[in-house]
Every structure is written in structure tokens, then in C-alpha cells.
Amino acid sequence: MTCRPEEFLINTLAGLLDDVSVRHVAVGAASPIPGAAALLTQTRTGGRLRVSIIHGEANNPFTDGGRELFDAAGQGRIDAFFLGGVQIDGHANINLVGTGPYPDTTRRFPGSFGSAHMYFVVPKVILFRPEHTRRVLVEAVDFISAPGTSAAGVYRPGGPKALVTERCLMSFDADRGRFCLQSIHPGHSLEEILDNTGFDFDIPDTVPVTAEPTTGDLALLRNGIAPEIAKTYPAFSAKVFGLTSAA
């Protein structure tokens, strides 16, 4: 089976959730790829993983929106979460506010919402930004919506563990405040990643190629996950999987 780019990213994100320490993953609004990844992991693990998608009604257990989500995270009841950013820098700081010197931003975005709270309290935060360019992966963000690391003595049970883009997978070492390249996606190269990344990162002597989804995983994704994620993101499922309506 030919793997679509979205399917590849879904499978890559799902692999980061396949950990017995992750019992409950929450997915924010407007996140069809992370949402599909969470549902794929849930199915592959026989339902061990609890999935809460904070968008629409399907797979959304919360009745009080963001406040209930933040309460659950603060109480330690969410083990993994996804965050993105208009900009992400080498210290895993994210910017969701705007570009240009604050407050005179040249372009304004919706804002930080609860990103700083989730970044501090959720043990495994996965950064996901499909676009891998120097416009996004910058040396220093223009505005820190949520810091990647904290000073010594700051109570912080949560933080970033990985970054997934269209080109590669990186891990993050909070003690050193640096990313490390873990694998390169098929069809891309180290030189390409270096050219399109605005910050320094560690590179191991040998960098593997990111695993592609198996035929079984693709069948599961297309036949089982696609109809389920269509209940929340019908336009996404129509575009990627060709579904004309939610199941």
C-alpha cells in the first residue's frame, strides 16, 4: 500500500504513545492528525489507552471544555498531550501569539490559551508541526507562550519529550535544553534538515530512517480509524481517506 503523508505522520505520532506509562492522552481542538494517532494507538493496544479529543462530541468526555481539561491535567490524570506553535526554538519554547517583536507583532494568531499550563503538568508533551522550515523552527521565538525548560527548583512534572515534523523526529533533553535527531523520514536527508532548521541540535553518529506504517497498520487506519476520526473531523477524513460522510 502507498502511504499518504498524513498517514505517515499519524503512524509516527502513534509510535510515541505506545508506552505503558501513557494511560490517557488528550488531544486539543483542530488536531486531526494527533487525534487519529491517539485512536490508532488505542486500537493497537486493545483499548488500554484512553483517548479524549477536545473537539466536537465523539471521543470527548468533557462537558465543561477547557476548564475540565486543565483540571484533569493539573490533577495528574492526563499522561500525554500534543502542542504546536507558530514558532518553536531549540530550547523547545513555543510561540502561539504572533511573529515580530511583541507587542508590535507583524502577524497575530489566536493566542496561548492553556499551553503553558499543559506544558508544565502533562508528563509527555509531543510537539507537532508539519512544516519544517526556518520560519517555524527558529533560533529564538519572538514570544514565549510556553517555555520548554524551567529553572532549578521550579516544580514541573511535565514538559516536551519529542518533536515531529514533515522531515524528521527529534527527542528533547530537558536537562540539557536541547533537541536530538532521532530519525529522518523517508525521502529526506540530514543536509535538508540542517538547511531548514534555525537552531542547533544534537546528531548521533548513526541516524535511522523513520519506520513507515505496515500494511496492517494502514488497513487499520483506513478501515477503522478513518470512520471514527470522521465523526470529529469530516473534512479531514474526506480529503485524506476519501470518506464522504462520518460513520
Q: How many domains does the chain have?
A: 2
Name the residue range of residue 234's domain: 1-82+214-247
Q: What is the pTM of this model?
A: 0.95
- Is there a single domain that holds both residue 135 and residue 172? yes
88 and 71 belong to one structural domain: no
Same-domain pairing of 58 and 150:
no
Please check whether residues 179 and 88 belong to one and the same domain: yes
Per-residue model confidence as pLDDT tens digits over 62-105: 988 788 999 999 999 999 999 999 999 999 999 999 999 998 89
Q: Which residues of the chain have pLDDT under 70?
A: 1, 245-247
What's the CATH number where 142 sits? Answer: 3.40.1080.10
| 113: phi then psi, degrees, rounded to nearest 5 | 50, -125
93 with 182, same domain: the answer is: yes
| 164 in any annotated domain | yes
Distances from the Cα of 179 to the Cα of 15, 74, 111, 173, angstroms: 18, 26, 25, 6
Query: In this prediction, what percent of the chain has a pLDDT beyond 70?
Result: 98
Residues 78 and 89 in one domain: no
Residues 35 and 95 in one domain: no
